Structure 1
Amino acid sequence: MSVMTREDHRIPATYADTLVQPWAYANGQIHETYRWLRKNEPFGQAVIEGFDPFWVATKHADILEISRQNDLFHNGDRNPVLTTKAIDEQVRAMMGGSPHLLRTLIHMDAPDHLKYRALTQAWFMPQNLRKMEDRIRVIAKATVEKMAATGGECDFVKEVALGYPLHVIMSIMGVPEEDEPRMLQLTQEIFGAADPELSRHKDTDFSAAAAPQKIDISVITDFFEYFRALSERKRANPSDDLGSVIANSQIDGQPISDFEALSYYIIVATAGHDTTSSSTGALWALAEHPGELAKLHADPSLIPGLVDESIRWTTPVKTFMRTVTADTEFAGRRLKKDDWLMLCYASGNRDEDVFEDPFTFRVDRKPNKHLAFGYGAHLCLGQHLAKMEMRILWEEMIPRLRSVELAGEPAMSEAVFVNGPKRLPIRFELA
């Protein structure tokens, strides 16, 4: 059988365009595109005005296979986050030819990736996290009491989902509690740059026809300024926290650069809470499926299953990009060196070949081989912390949650990279 070319597998424009539209990830239309692609063009190429062409992996098996082959599919050769041609050109002009405004773990390949990952990996291993469980449970209990104090109606995102994981990761990093609102605002601005409600520039025209073609690095600059001061304090007076580990880290006997340290702070400070807050937003699903809450009341041992189903259901990290390092064949297609491709995790987590009835939320789903944390060398560093935080929160909340229902119109954030609930009005009864 002959190997097919990109021209044979070009995704129809109607579906291809959806892949780059932030609103499609907010209103759920992206799932209709994914469903069509999995059935008709599971590894096709999107050709969209203003973007370099990119291959699109929508099947669970293909995403796994690409994630296994880190030498063939690189993170760092190009931007690992979808970006336009115009912005890519501006970043390269600003950064001396580099496509990256930051240099975090997601921007690295071997051998650097493993070396930099090892700097903090011990902090996120289960044996170390177990020491923090009591501390995290205190935060979870206080969070549930805060929810109870609202009197039976609240915006779950605002009152619970945002603050709980934020407080956990900032306390681990050694960020003062009074600075947490600032960290939350900056995180929302960096991940919600394309969302009219979350963006720093709310007066911008966010229509597709007027999509901004200039990059604004003011949010990153603000992050840098904050963490530069924090890093100086942690170097002068190190303590038993993750911020001190990063500030005083060395690679091959030499201190890491300020740029790398500041980048490290940003990825931990943002991904360390935003993705978890999005996953706890799965209370939306419990509000719509009271039978699943009844299962949890009847059998609390299902709570770990609720954690995994919450993560599969929301899949906060929707996409990552990879770059092909050599001419190759994959999924019956001819790929060329420097080809760009998109891993669609939310599609893999709805793959009908892997998940029975994938569009149904089931707290007792087994097995649940979701891809929300990635796979291979770039498996999420904080996955164990995220799951522990969610488990503890649900353990404190679910036994007391007699009922929950929607009390208004929920909304998802508009973003192609990382998104989740931004509003979740609920009416509830807590024991």
Structure 2
Amino acid sequence: MENWEMSVRFEDSAAVDSLLVDSSLYASHDRYHDLFRYLREREPVRMTRPDGFVPFWTVSRYADICEVQRQPALFINEPRNTLLPIAVEERLECELGSKLIMNTMLSMDGAEHQSMRRLGAQYFTPGGVAKLKDGFRRAANHYVDRMADQGSSCDFVQTVSAWYPLRVILQVFGLDESTDHELHLRTREFINSQNPALSAEGKQGEKMLKSWNEFCDYFRPLVADRRANPQNDLASVIANATFDGDPITDRRLFSYYILIVVAGHDTTSTSLGGGMLQLLRDRTQFDRLKADPALIPTAVDEMIRWMAPVKHFLRTATQDYELRGMRISAGETLLMALPSGCYDEEVFDRPFVFDVARKPNKHIAFGFGAHVCLGQYLARLELATFLEVFLERIEDMDLCGTPEESSTLFLGNVDYLPVSYKFKDR
């Protein structure tokens, strides 16, 4: 797409509205960027009225996304922070008293957000995550060993990228590695429940609530144990937290647990699987990285920019505001299209070229401002550590089939990545 020309005309406004909430759009890198390049050029702040959803402004330019995110008092997370059909929001509000399935720092504002963010912050600082690197290397070697166990070919997703980030999260939590299979199952069910395309018979609200309740039940024994026998781990910090002198509520507690597992797992899994896919599609970049492992830090950020795992966040205006000449009224919702911002031609040189040495690379895949991703240092270190081990042990790798990417509205992933490879010691 370096020499991109508009291959589709988006003149039917209703069709564009429908496309913006069509989860299949996100399974095609080219289709997504075809649409959003059009929006950046023609309607960078666009009123969108898809059937079944609350109308929202689609914000597709990097500068505008940052303008919104740097003003958390003017553009707040409540009452909604991700796209859900109106019927699902109503179902959740009836059951939980909120349009959101979880009550996390992603749905909080002001002092409440800052308090929740500080709760486990020491585990996600550069110094905090650096202490975990030896464990990351052991995990990386474990999953490269799994590749060896498969012979000379495997599905990289089911062998490595779906599992390695989960093993890392278990280390942060202080959980035993034997729990990874059930936790992986819970995570996938929770993510899938939030995708309308994967909710059978349109019963998305019920599926989300069922997944939420099952996740809470899964974590209850852990909470009880860490309250009775606190340890030096994140699970203990959250389980024994207080707010304004009172113990943390169950909803906040379980929301934090689920957020760390889901966000820490799926976002990094997407960047690893999708980044590896792009390295294999562009052999010049793969060979360049093999020849110069010193490029790993910049390669990691390019993998994250390229995939931009979180497809959007929503904000609600607290007062009237003018954004790129468009009048946003108080109470209206804005969708910040993070992948579009990560490919904005006004910010990135040749944005549709995957460049393992890209510098500077001020992508906003982790968000921007007060709500920037708490786990960004963890994600960078675990991806860099895996690439270090991978390049130390793998001589070469190629695609050996047709990859498949997720249909999604929120968190994306590569579902299938068939590869063949050769080890250096074979």
* TM-score using structure 2 length: 0.93
What is the match of residue 349 of structure 1? 342
With 317-326 and 214-223 compared, the bigger mean Cα shift is at: 214-223
Q: Are 1:307 and 1:390, in contact at CA under 8 Å, matched by a contact in 2?
A: yes
Change (3 A) 1:73 1:91: same
Alpha-carbon distance between aligned partners in 2 of 1:11 and 1:121, rounded to the nearest angstrom: 46
What is the match of residue 281 of structure 2? 288
Matches within 5 A, 1:148-187: 148-187=148-187
Match of 2:206 among 215, 220, 239: 215
Q: Are 2:193 and 2:204, in contact at CA under 8 Å, matched by a contact in 1?
A: no
CA-to-aligned-CA distance 1:235-279 (integer Å, 9 cap, x gap):
001111110110011122221111111111010111111111110
Alpha-carbon distance between aligned partners in 2 of 1:142 and 1:286, rounded to the nearest angstrom: 22
SS at match of 1:183: helix
Alpha-carbon distance between aligned partners in 1 of 2:352 and 2:149, rounded to the nearest angstrom: 34
What is the match of residue 7 of structure 1? none
Counterpart residue identity of residue 26, structure 1: A
Matches within 5 A, 1:20-419: 20-28=21-29, 29-76=31-78, 78-96=79-97, 98-193=98-193, 199=198, 204=200, 211-212=202-203, 214-216=205-207, 217-281=209-273, 282-419=275-412
What is the match of residue 7 of structure 2? none
Q: Are 2:135 and 2:171, in contact at CA under 8 Å, matched by a contact in 1?
A: no
Q: Are 1:192 and 1:413, in contact at CA under 8 Å, matched by a contact in 2?
A: no
| Deviation at residue 11 of structure 1 after TM alignment | 8.2
Q: Are 1:124 and 1:381, in contact at CA under 8 Å, matched by a contact in 2?
A: yes
Counterpart residue identity of residue 45, structure 1: M
| Deviation at residue 82 of structure 1 after TM alignment | 0.3
CA-to-aligned-CA distance 1:40-81 (integer Å, 9 cap, x gap):
1011111111111100110111111111010000012x2101
Alpha-carbon distance between aligned partners in 1 of 2:378 and 2:234, rounded to the nearest angstrom: 13
Q: Are 2:92 and 2:205, in contact at CA under 8 Å, matched by a contact in 1?
A: no
Q: Are 1:11 and 1:47, in contact at CA under 8 Å, matched by a contact in 2?
A: no
Counterpart residue identity of residue 279, structure 1: S
With 340-349 and 10-19 compared, the bigger mean Cα shift is at: 10-19
Percent of counterpart pairs with the same letter?
39
SS at match of 1:312: helix
Alpha-carbon distance between aligned partners in 2 of 1:195 and 1:74, rounded to the nearest angstrom: 23
| Deviation at residue 135 of structure 1 after TM alignment | 1.6
With 170-179 and 375-384 compared, the bigger mean Cα shift is at: 170-179
Alpha-carbon distance between aligned partners in 1 of 2:219 and 2:247, rounded to the nearest angstrom: 16
| Deviation at residue 176 of structure 1 after TM alignment | 2.8
Structure 1: stretches of 5+ with no match in the other structure: 1-9, 206-210
Aligned residues: 411
Alpha-carbon distance between aligned partners in 1 of 2:12 and 2:384, rounded to the nearest angstrom: 40
CA-to-aligned-CA distance 1:23-44 (integer Å, 9 cap, x gap):
1101232221111101110111
Change (3 A) 1:48 1:104: same
Q: Are 2:223 and 2:235, in contact at CA under 8 Å, matched by a contact in 1?
A: yes
What is the match of residue 16 of structure 1? 17
